A and B are shown apart, each in its own frame.
Chain A
Amino acid sequence: MSFNLLVLVCLLYVALLFLVAYAAERRAAAGRLGWLRSPLVYTLSLSIYCTAWTFYGAVGYAARSGLEFVTIYLGPTLAMVGWWWFLRKLVRVGRSQRVTSIADLISSRYGKSNALGVLVTLMAVIGTTPYIALQLQSVTLSFAVFAGPGPAGWGRGEPAATAFWVAVGLALFTILFGTRNLDANERHHGVVMAIALEAVVKLAALLAVGVFVVWGLVGGVPEMLARIDSSAVARQPLDSGRWVTLIFLSAVAFVSLPRMFQVLVVENSDERHLAIASWAFPLYLLLISLFVVPIAVFGLAELPAGANPDLFVLTLPLAFDAEGLAMVAFLGGFSSATSMVIVAAIALSTMVSNHVVMPLWLALRGGGASMSGDVRNIVLRARRVSIGAILALGYLYYVFSGGGAALAAIGLISFAGVAQVFPALLGGLFWRGATRVGAAAGLLTGFAIWGYTMFLPSFGDSGPMSARLLAEGPFGIGWLRPQALFGIEGLDPLVHAMFWSMTLNSFAFVLGSLFSFPAPLERLQGAQFVNVFGHSGAARGWSGGVAEAEDLLVMAQRILGAQEAQEMFQAESRRQGREGYLPDVTPDFIERLERELTGSVGAATAHAMLAQTVGGSAVSVQDLMAVADETAQMLEYSSRLEAKSRELARTARQLRDANEKLTALSRQKDAFLSQISHELRTPMSSIRAFSEILLEGADEMSGAELRRYAGIIHEETIRLTRLLDDLLDLSVLEAGRVTLNIAPVQLGTIVQRAVTAAGSGRQARRLRIRLEDSGFGVTLRTDADRLAQVFINLISNAGKYCDAERPELVIRARRRGDRLDVDFVDNGSGIAKCDQEVIFEKFIRLSDQARAGGAGLGLAICHEIMLKLGGRISYLPGQGGTAFRVSIPLVASQGGGAEAASQGAGGSRAAAGR
């Protein structure tokens, strides 16, 4: 088979993957999810657990260590079979909290702490990079098998170049299909479909090779069993320490690996799929490992002694001239490598962008609510750059590690590294007392020990650890030897490292949790995680903030996209029973929004962004916890009492004011009543007295006396009549039965008439009246007699009450818009502020009655008349004396009601007829 054919097939296969992913994306975009989201696809997507390391390496592992290879599959089998314990809860928490990655889960659980997120991200990157390098190596090796002259040749061509182009292609694919959408909730349909297809290919490939070996070459199951019993593999004793450790390690790594978390939790669309995967995925594992031992045994027996057992899957078919099968095997290995790298890159880039890039960006930008630009683009760009960077790291690691045997051991080392997250993960899901301090302590301890006892020694003597350090410990301290901590020797390095890292990790985690006190948000999150099944109704995380719905919408649009955000807000509005795009900013709503945002940018970042917009989020949670506290409750209560008593005091003050006004009014009314009875009584008694005198002594009186007494009686009667006229006038005005005679008239005419009429009075003669007649030429449509009555009243009031040495009244008119203001300003001492409010009330008279010619009804009558005329009369303060302003509308019908309007119409007819 030619190398070129291989490359062609490989490219065709990649094109097929692109096509499948593209079609799946198209289908998902059209809303036809259907089988895209079936339990089968979910189960197959889990198969990224089986990387090239498993595909090729398992056979090599079996050839070297016998049955031990199977532990790598037994662990995940137990984890899946025990889904009811752990995975079910993990998936539920992940879905209900919209978790985007394992780092996000840890960060979210421990109070949305970004520090923990960064820590886990860092660990994941360090643990995964060598693993990606391993995948690149396996693809390169398998290419080399075909390129070389012999079946086991390492061959010509440049491995580094192959690895480079594979890395570039993978980066391209991942960026294209892994960063199409932002909301992790929408999931990566294209990627998942592609890896499901790859899962089928690799399983089929391995089964095909196995069937070929067992039935094609060996001749059946009994013969195969016989061969196994007689091979060197059967003589490999099982190391019990390694056996137990590896089952545990693989189970733990299965749930802690970032890529596994991605497919298990993030891409899970239905919890019931997990139930099916609980047996279907172990079945997949069983099938994929079914023929590992036969292939290894047969390869060891039949292939040349120097052949690399890691490549038996490829070299066996080639050696027996089954080129088509070799091609299928090659595609299987290629699939294993690529699907792992793609998902790992997606998972890591999500972590890096959510926990490193976004917080940095937010911090550098400062204020969050005022941010400009589309955050979505920034997040997506961050992810794309991260994907590129992660693959570049993997490639560089591959180049610098030399692609040798050291890399082959990296699989388990990587497992052990990511397994350090497990205590914090387990504790976070099942122990409410687990705190951030404990989690950080455990993670750091475990990771440090892993690095010291496993990762760094893995580079060998030439690595960062010298042979001397390995043999004697740092500075010759024996009990600190990396592979014999505390002087315990003789353990397998893997068992040793796992034992110490996991135990000390757990100790640090538990002790740190016991001796620290969680922040309120941590406790809240802890309760939500641990009781995820019990309390579906989440505890309130947000209390009334100052955020406007509009601000939130602006921010949400930048992260979720305009349309999605608007739809979400609209849906929320509808839920609240309103129209439009802006719902009330309830704590419920903010919480929902935070979850939506969490799906895009991670818990810590989403929380920080909302906190900046809503304002004082942490404070509100603190408040919430404080309210639960009894003391705080009392404080709260007393402060509420204080607020209430303030309000009561305010009300009381208002009541007092009203009461004072009422009392003043009633006092004045009392005064008026006595006044009016006095006013009525005085003329009546004098009329009575003089008429009695006339009756009794009319004959004795002279004509002059008679005339005088009769004159007094007449005057008093006039006074009485005037008083009764006023009262009658007022009652008519108030009852609205007045008839207005609207006609066009010049203001000047009315004023002149009023001045003449008022000036005839005795007191008015003292008053000097000055007319500023600039505005008097205006023609009004009004009732001239009534308006004159108002003016006469004001002029005579000035005559009566102006207390100046030389009383003077200024009358001026000014046009203001559609009204005409006529001011009457005298030079007296004015009216006190407290009296200004009541002067237009009925029966009010401010000064003593001696100087008053009337009964205190004048201004009340003026007031009523002006209302009828559609204008108003008001006291004009700050003029240096008593000042009244009469406002007359230039359009007569205003405010006058239908009556005035009809009168106006009649008036205009009259005017027309003139």
Chain B
Amino acid sequence: MKRPAPLFLARRGYRLRRMMDAARVLPALGAFLFLMPLLWGGGTTGGGILFVFGIWAGLIAVAAVLAGPLAGAPDPEIPQGEGEGARAPEPGEGPEGGGGVV
């Protein structure tokens, strides 16, 4: 017996939600990676420069991928149905939850 496929909209909504999550995580990830050079202890080597600029370029690329779908995305505070694996928004999830990560 074939399971009915989830509705297209629900799946898309689910993806969009996860992209929002990714957009929220991205600055934290970037901050973490940008702190890595401190662990080396050394000076500014060519490799170090390449590392920082590489991370930088990677962040830009991910942000560019996320920006497209999120640009026209509805406001997350307006509740909307999620597909399979739907969960209630956690208290700390909305922009009210924190937000010092700039």
Q: Mark B75-100, 1 if CB is under 8 A from A, else 0.
A: 11110000000000000000110111
Of A83, A226, A275, which one neighbours B46 at CB under 8 angstroms?
A: A226
B99 touches A86 (CB 8 A): yes
Beyond A81-B27, A276-B71, whether A286 also contacts B41 by CB under 8 A is no
A448 close to B (CB within 8 Å): no
* Chain B facing A: main interface SS: helix
Q: How far is the CA of A229 from the CA of B38 in the complex (A)?
A: 18
Closest Cβ neighbor of B75 among chain A residues: A533
In the bound complex, what is the Cα–Cα distance between A85 and B40 (angstroms)? 30
CB distance from B81 to the nearest CB of A (A): 17
Contact: B52 with A70, CB < 8 Å? yes
The answer to the question of A74 belonging to the interface, with a C-beta cut-off of 8 Å to chain B, is: yes
Taking a contact as CB atoms under 8 Å apart, the answer to whether A279 and B64 are in contact is: yes
Alpha-carbon distance between A98 and B83 when the two chains are bound, in angstroms: 37
Task: Tell me whether A84 and B44 are in contact in the complex, defined as CB-CB below 8 angstroms, given that A247-B34, A430-B99, A533-B75 are known contacts.
Answer: no
Contact status B67-A251, CB under 8 Å: no
Query: What does the 1/0 interface line of A281-302 toward B look like (CB < 8 Å)?
Result: 0110010001001000000000
Q: Is A816's CB within 8 Å of the partner chain B?
A: no
- Nearest to A431 among chain B residues (CB) is B96
| Contact residue among B43, B56, B71, B78 (Cβ-Cβ distance under 8 Å from A234) | B43
**A401 contacts the other chain (CB 8 A):** no
Bound-state CA distance A67–B61 (Å) is: 22
Q: Which residues of B contact A426 (CB under 8 A)?
A: 99-100
Interface residues of B in 2-21 (CB under 8 A from A): 20
B38 and A84 contacting across the interface, CB-CB below 8 Å: no
Alpha-carbon distance A135/B60, docked complex (angstroms)? 29
B94 to chain A, nearest CB (A): 9
With a CB–CB cut-off of 8 A, which chain A residues contact B98?
Answer: 430
The residues of B that contact A225 with a CB separation of less than 8 Å are 46-47, 50
- Residue among A89, A275, A282 with max Cβ neighbours from chain B (10 Å): A275
How many residues of chain A get a CB closer than 8 Å to chain B's CBs? 52
Chain A positions 746 through 777: 1 when the CB is less than 8 Å from some CB of chain B, otherwise 0: 00000000000000000000000000000000
Q: How far does the Cβ of B49 sit from chain A's closest Cβ, in whole Å?
A: 6
B60 and A286: CB pair below 8 A? yes
Q: In the complex, which residues of chain A have a beta carbon less than 8 angstroms from the beta carbon of B64? A: 279-280
Contacts of B50 in A (CB 8 A): 225
Question: Given the complex of chains A and B, what is the CA–CA distance between A279 and B28 in angstroms?
Answer: 16
How many chain B residues touch the partner (CB < 8 A)?
A: 49
B43 contacts which of A70, A74, A236, A252 (Cβ < 8 Å)? Answer: A236
> Which partner residue on chain B sits nearest A82 by CB separation?
B27
Could you tell me if B101 and A82 are in contact, using CB atoms closer than 8 angstroms?
A: yes
A887 to chain B, nearest CB (A): 74
**One of B24, B35, B53 near A82 (C-beta < 8 A):** B24
Find chain B residues with CB under 8 A from A293 CB.
44, 49
Q: Are B49 and A228 in contact (CB under 8 A)?
A: yes
- Closest B residue to A68 using CB positions: B44
- The answer to whether B95 and A282 have CB atoms under 8 Å apart is no
Which residues on the A side are within 8 Å of B100 (C-beta)? 426
The reply to whether A85 and B44 contact each other, CB–CB distance below 8 Å, is no
Chain A contacts with B in 503-533, Cβ cutoff 8 A: 530-531, 533
Bound-state Cα–Cα, A66 to B41, Å: 13
Could you tell me the distance between the alpha carbons of A222 and B52 in the complex, rounded to whole angstroms? 17
Q: Does A79 contact B (CB under 8 A)?
A: yes
A77 part of interface (Cβ distance < 8 Å):
yes
Is B95's CB under 8 angstroms from A238's CB?
no
Say whether A234 contacts B67, CB under 8 Å. Answer: no
- What separation, in Å, do the CA atoms of A283 and B67 have in the docked complex? 14
Q: Is A244 part of the contact surface with B, judged by Cβ < 8 Å?
A: yes
CB pair A237 B71 closer than 8 Å = no
Among B20, B35, B67, max chain A CB count under 10 A is at: B67
Q: Is A272 an interface residue (CB 8 A)?
A: yes
A-B pairs, 3 with minimum CB distance: A82-B27, A225-B46, A275-B71
Can you identify 6 A-B contacts, CB atoms within 8 angstroms?
Answer: A82-B28, A237-B41, A278-B63, A279-B61, A282-B56, A533-B75
